[in-house]
Amino acid sequence: MADEKHINIDVEKASAADSGASSPQSAALAALPSDSPAVFKQGWAKRLLTWGIESRGIVPVSASERTDTKFFKIFFVWFSINFNILSFSTGGLGPVAFGLGLRDTSLTILFFNLIACLLPAYMNTWGPKTGMRQMVHSRYSFGYFGIMLPVLLNLISLCGFNILNCILGGQALSAVTDNQMSWTVGIVIIVIISLILCFMGYTVLLWFERIAWFPTLLAFLVALGLGGKNLFNGQPVEPATAVTILSFGAVIAGFVITFAGMASDFTMYFKPDVSRTKIFWYAYIGYLLPIVTLEVFGAAAAIAAPTIPSWNDGYGTEGNVGGLLNAMLSPVGRFGKFLTVMLSLSVASNIAATLYSICFNFQILIPPLSRVPRYVFSVVGSAIALPIAIVGAHRFYEALTNFLSLIGYWASAYCGILIVEHHYFRRNDFSTYDQRDWDVPGRLPWGAAALGAGILSFALIIPCMNQIWFVGPIGAVTGDIGFEVAFPLAAVLYIPLRKMELRYQRIPERDE
């Protein structure tokens, strides 16, 4: 059945080529599974494809279709995704939630990001070699059905990021109108803009990411120029301890490690012969540069806010980051309000890209949905984020701290499992990932080893946690070392479990 599907896809592509129909519309139709409902291949759906909307969901991209040579685009993707007010607000957690001074906050941000950015940057290098979405590739470790648990966790993580970004964007738009426009209206505007970008797909999205950072950079430079004289190295009430440093570090790591779950979604169209080193450094710097810069700036602004009446009024008791930035830019009048609008729209880069990956996660979580075009799920993802963002808008910092501290654990374990599978069991050989097996359960691992390693690792991760909502016995002494434990522990556990799985699972030979 699955083999027939692949044959049918290939036949459609061959037919399009033979007839001379090499238009984007023909290619988009060919990217749909052959058993997609007819409603998505004719009428209004077919007209959508003439606008350049990407239809491809989780069907892998063949080597002949991987033709993109503008590899630098991946730098701008991750740079724009992270160069926004969410990174700015995350840095503020150091002084606001953990009571750290600027020096300790900045050093924690720098060193934890230097390490944490390595994992998602490395995952970016797999896309050109396999032509697969990140979670499709993960089936070759977790199996056809086993991957559903990591996908569910990834969906929660990605939706959580979108909710936080919606809140921040809505806050900032409301602040421009001196709160005459409610946060709710602002959130709706941000969601609509992001939905349009995601709906169009890969080409439009990557074009937008290449230019979206510039107005944001201008706004932050003006804010720094106007408010720089008010920033200072505020001293904490109590000296920093290992417990607070490591607990804040877990939040910082959780912010970036989770990008590993969507990394190759944006590199799968690149030519397979691209240097993996080149892709790695484009992605690594794309993560590190904006995150570290804006998190440190956000920490400095949060420390200074209580000492400046206008900043403190804008920031308020609810941690209104948009209000704080609007106050910082207020000395330049209407131009400052314009820049605040630009900052509010900066979250669209993150939301649209995250929403793009959410589409594929829905299709992997519920395999029959792979017959539905990708763009449909951009609407579903927006519908999920919108009401939750509206409800949670007034508890932003509490939600941000709890969310970021939790998501890093599973993502760290997930990366450990995938890397061991690739380097230890597959000997760094991408040819062992046969594209024809991507949706054939019997040709994929059972997934028991990967799930077992991930679940068992939490037996030690949980005691190592130290967060506002839970403190484990080890974490109480050392600080939060959950994500540091998750990666090596899951990797080590995976080796014997995978060997056992390989011993008992018999994968039938493929009929060529």
C-alpha span between 434 and 413 (Å, rounded): 24
* CATH number for the domain that contains residue 178: 1.10.4160.10
Burial 214-242, CB ≥16 within 10 A → b, else e:
ebbbebbebbeeebeeeeeebebeeebee
C-alpha span between 208 and 196 (Å, rounded): 11
- What does each of the 512 residues of the chain score in pLDDT, given as a tens digit? 444 444 344 433 433 333 333 455 555 555 656 555 554 555 555 566 666 678 788 999 999 999 999 999 999 999 999 999 999 999 999 998 888 999 999 999 999 999 999 999 999 999 999 999 999 999 999 999 999 999 999 999 999 889 889 988 988 998 898 878 888 899 999 999 999 999 988 888 999 999 999 999 999 999 999 998 888 876 666 788 889 999 999 989 989 999 999 999 999 999 999 999 999 999 999 999 999 999 999 999 999 999 899 999 988 877 788 899 999 999 999 999 999 999 999 999 999 999 999 999 999 999 998 888 888 899 999 999 888 888 876 666 566 666 776 788 999 999 999 999 999 999 999 999 999 999 999 999 999 999 999 999 999 999 999 877 788 999 999 989 998 999 999 999 999 999 999 999 988 777 66
C-alpha span between 80 and 210 (Å, rounded): 7
The position carrying tokens 């921040």 is 168
Domain encompassing residue 75: 65-395
C-alpha span between 267 and 273 (Å, rounded): 12
What pLDDT does 372 receive? Answer: 85
3-state secondary structure of 210: helix
C-alpha span between 77 and 280 (Å, rounded): 13
Residue of 347, 376, 348, 383 lying closest to 360 (CA atoms): 376
What pLDDT does 374 receive? Answer: 86
85, part of any domain:
yes
421, part of any domain:
no
240, part of any domain:
yes
94, part of any domain:
yes
Which tokens is 470 given? 């839970």
What pLDDT does 8 receive? Answer: 41
What are the residues whose beta carbons fall under 8 Å from the beta carbon of 269, sequence distance 6 or more?
61, 65, 66, 67, 68, 127, 202
Structural domain count, the chain: 1
Q: Answer for the pair 435, 62: CB distance below 8 angstroms, yes or no.
A: yes
467, part of any domain:
no
153, part of any domain:
yes
The CA-based dihedral angle spanning residues 221, 225, 231, 232, taken in that order and rounded to the nearest 10 degrees: 100
The position carrying tokens 């904006």 is 290
132, part of any domain:
yes
Which tokens is 71 given? 């590899």
Q: Which helix (H) or strand (E) holds 385?
A: helix 374-392
Residue of 265, 293, 287 lying closest to 106 (CA atoms): 293
409, part of any domain:
no
